[in-house]
Amino acid sequence: MIAALELGLIYAVMALGVYLTFRILNFPDLTVDGSFTTGAAVAAMLITNGVPPLLATGAGFVGGMLAGLVTGLLHTKGKINGLLAGILTMIALYSINLKIMGGTANLALTMQGTLFTPLADAGILDTGLSLVILFVGAFLIKLVIDWFLHTDVGLAAQATGDNEQMVRSFGVSTDTSKILLLMLSNGLVALCGALIAQYQGAADISMGVGLILVGLASVIIGNALVGTGRGIFITSLSVIVGAVLYRLIIFLALDLNFDPNDMKLISAVIVVIALLLPRLIRRRTPRALPAEPTRSAVIAGGTQ
Amino acid sequence: MLTITDARKTFFPGTVNEKPALRDITLHLAPGDFATIIGSNGAGKSTLLNAISGTLPLDAGSIQIDGIVVNRMNDHRRARFIGRVFQDPSAGTAPSLTIQENMAIALRRGQRRGLGWGVTSARKARFRDELATLELGLENRLTAKVGLLSGGQRQALSLLMATFTQPNILLLDEHTAALDPQRAELVTRLTQSVVHQHGLTTLMVTHNMEQALRVGNRLIMMHDGQVILELDADQKKTTTVPDLLREFEKIKGATLDDRTLLS
């Protein structure tokens, strides 16, 4: 149970990355399936070669940013559809990740010290204290994201996902905003990959498969809890909660003797339910609908 | 301030749908000029505005703003010089951001955007002062999401955001057309006062002939990608809507005859 919560808090870093593209930029970015493994591969390879774990983890973050840069350039400068740009980078990363890992599909970290070794040595892992430490870590990253989104650059990036025509008319390059958010997002996803590899003691070439669903599920579950239209602080906090809840659901499913091979199917079903449920609930209780728009708004075509 | 020379734009060139939208338009606006543009649908009014703002590249001709040729700049670079208000009230603002966040984005027009806090208390005070000039009470709703505002409030906010940094050129694309008459009148009044206050060089497209005559110091009538009539301030004062309609029918008939004869 505690292990599931620990995993959830680590995966929250990835979910925060997906939140940046999926919610802020309105861009379902499939790069994450590849960049997650990139982060894991880079960190694992460097740690194996004696690089300090902290530095190796940072290098994983940079690796993810480069992946995001490629997707961003394909989409903005190459004018390739966003989904396709993500898929292209994701597929290409499979080969690149194998190269990073020296041609092997699995790179074990059992012999090396990792970021989690001090915690394990002190007997903190798998206790309530480890949860506090991991939560503080995830929360600090969330605070950095909150801060970034409130800077001049961040506001322009938020508006890019909201109304491109408007931000361009105020001199913002929407291409730059998109590339920036994609880099930051994939950097976080890769950072999470680097942490997971160290936590589980191995980097695996297929560890990122289907990860986008985990990210989406976390964001959607979290946001559904607090409702839309909340401020950034609450919304990004809900993403962390969503990531933990997702892990709990998976944990309970395994506890109920579901076949581990069915986990991807379960993930997909969770996302579908999380997407459909709010709409079904709203249809049942018409009073929960927002007030009718005013006449002038209707004339103005002000539907969102 | 704004000089357009032989601007030409053709849509779908070389196909059966070929449509010349701008036929060698030449136009000069002196600093502080406020010109209204009228013309039937498809006359090229919006194309002209899009060409000036850079969202639509010209086939030929040049555009100069304050002595700088901007032909090769794309729209977000030209935005340094140009403020725009669109016809759709939801086009000029970001609905999921708050009023103060929208204004913070507008405030940085033409300046580098860094990692400084977007909404500082000093900026808030300025936003409050600026919003108070709209007399809509928005200065007390800085943290409200813009998506919650009515069309008229949003358009007034768009106008303020487009102008309070005093751009060299202000482009208004039928910005009152989507509002009810009362709100349209309010936004028109705000437009006149803000243009007057900052002495902005302004181009305003409108379908409302009465408004076109009443507002601004110049009037331009377009038809079929050409400027067919220009009135200066004195001529505008003595011209009525029926005069304009008569003039339009006369010139339109003439150009149509020309084209039929030539083709």
pLDDT digits (tens, 9 = 90+) for A228-267: 778 899 999 999 999 999 999 989 988 888 888 888 888 8
Chain A residues close to B104, C-beta within 8 Å: 152, 155
Helix axes A32-48, A174-200, angle to 10 degrees: 50
Q: Among A120-124, A158-162, B13-17, B252-256, name the most confident range.
A: A158-162
Chain B residues close to A170, C-beta within 8 Å: 79, 105-106, 108-109, 161
Would an 8 Å CB–CB cutoff place B124 in contact with chain A?
no
pLDDT digits (tens, 9 = 90+) for B157-169: 999 999 999 999 9
pLDDT digits (tens, 9 = 90+) for A54-112: 999 999 999 999 999 999 999 999 999 999 999 999 999 999 999 999 999 999 998 78
Distance from CA of A88 to the nearest CA of B (A): 28
- Asked if A156 lies within 8 A of B95 by C-beta distance, the reply is no
Contacts of A123 (CB under 8 A, 6+ apart): none
Residue A131: C-alpha distances to residues A121, A139, B224 (Å) = 16, 12, 70
Contact assessment for residue B223 and residue B238, using Cβ atoms and an 8 Å cutoff: no
Q: H or E element: which one contains B204?
A: strand B201-205
A24: nearest CA in chain B? B96
Out of B89, B90, B105, the one facing A167 most closely (by C-beta) is B105
Residue A251 buriedness (CB in 10 A; 0-12 / 13-18 / 19+): middle
Residue A201 has pLDDT above 60, yes or no: yes
Rounded Cα gap, residues A132 and B18, in angstroms: 67
Rounded Cα gap, residues B146 and A302, in angstroms: 11
Task: Determine the residue among A152, A158, A233 to mutate to test chain B binding: the one whose Cβ has the most chain B Cβ atoms within 10 Å.
Answer: A152
What is the SS3 string spanning B129-191?
A: HHHHCCCCCHHHCCCCEHHHCCHHHHHHHHHHHHHCCCCCEEEEECCCCCCCHHHHHHHHHHH
Tokens for B244, please give them: 């304009």
Task: Determine the residue among B56, B84, B88, B90 to mutate to test chain A binding: the one whose Cβ has the most chain A Cβ atoms within 10 Å.
Answer: B90
A25: nearest CA in chain B? B96
How far out from the chain centre does Cα B71 lie? 18
Chain B residues close to A76, C-beta within 8 Å: none
SS3 B16: coil
Full-model pTM: 0.89
Alpha helix positions (H), chain B? 45-53, 75-78, 99-107, 121-132, 151-163, 181-198, 209-214, 233-238, 241-262
B110: nearest CA in chain A? A171
SS3 A80: coil
Mean pLDDT of B37-56: 91
Closest by Cα among A29, A214, A241, A37 to A135: A241
Would an 8 Å CB–CB cutoff place B85 in contact with chain A?
no
- Asked if A150 lies within 8 A of B75 by C-beta distance, the reply is no
Query: How many CB pairs below 8 Å do chains A and B form together?
Result: 126
Chain A residues close to B154, C-beta within 8 Å: 300, 302
Please give the DSSP secondary-structure letter assigned to residue A23.
Answer: I
Out of B76, B118, B147, the one facing A152 most closely (by C-beta) is B118
Contact assessment for residue B143 and residue B98, using Cβ atoms and an 8 Å cutoff: yes
Task: Give the pLDDT score at B244.
Answer: 87
Distance from CA of A15 to the nearest CA of B (A): 21
**Domains annotated on chain B, with CATH:** 2-32+41-262 (3.40.50.300)
- Asked if A152 lies within 8 A of B106 by C-beta distance, the reply is no
Distance from CA of A113 to the nearest CA of B (A): 36
pLDDT digits (tens, 9 = 90+) for A142-178: 999 999 999 999 999 999 999 999 999 999 999 999 9
Rounded Cα gap, residues A290 and A293, in angstroms: 8
Amino acid identity of residue B209, one-letter, is M
Would an 8 Å CB–CB cutoff place B120 in contact with chain A?
no
- Asked if A170 lies within 8 A of B151 by C-beta distance, the reply is no
Rounded Cα gap, residues A203 and A197, in angstroms: 5
Domain boundaries of chain A, sorted by first residue:
2-205
Q: Please report where in the chains the tokens 């408007």 appear, as a residue.
A: A166
A290: nearest CA in chain B? B148
- Asked if A171 lies within 8 A of B180 by C-beta distance, the reply is no
Chain B residues close to A302, C-beta within 8 Å: 89-90, 150-151, 154
A77 compared with A296, residue with greater pLDDT: A77
Phi-psi region of B61 (alpha: psi -120 to 50; beta: other; left: phi over 0): left
Rounded Cα gap, residues A185 and A29, in angstroms: 9
Rounded Cα gap, residues A220 and A239, in angstroms: 8
Rounded Cα gap, residues B3 and B131, in angstroms: 32
The ipTM assigned to this model is 0.90
Residue A301 has pLDDT above 60, yes or no: no
B224 compared with B258, residue with greater pLDDT: B224
**CA angle B158–B4–B207, rounded 5-degree value:** 50
- Asked if B179 lies within 8 A of A299 by C-beta distance, the reply is yes
Rounded Cα gap, residues A163 and B93, in angstroms: 7
Rounded Cα gap, residues B113 and A171, in angstroms: 10
Helix axes A152-162, A174-200, angle to 10 degrees: 100
Count of other CB atoms within 10 angstroms of residue A115: 18
Out of A159, A299, A304, the one facing B97 most closely (by C-beta) is A159
- Asked if B145 lies within 8 A of A229 by C-beta distance, the reply is yes
Rounded Cα gap, residues A89 and A102, in angstroms: 20
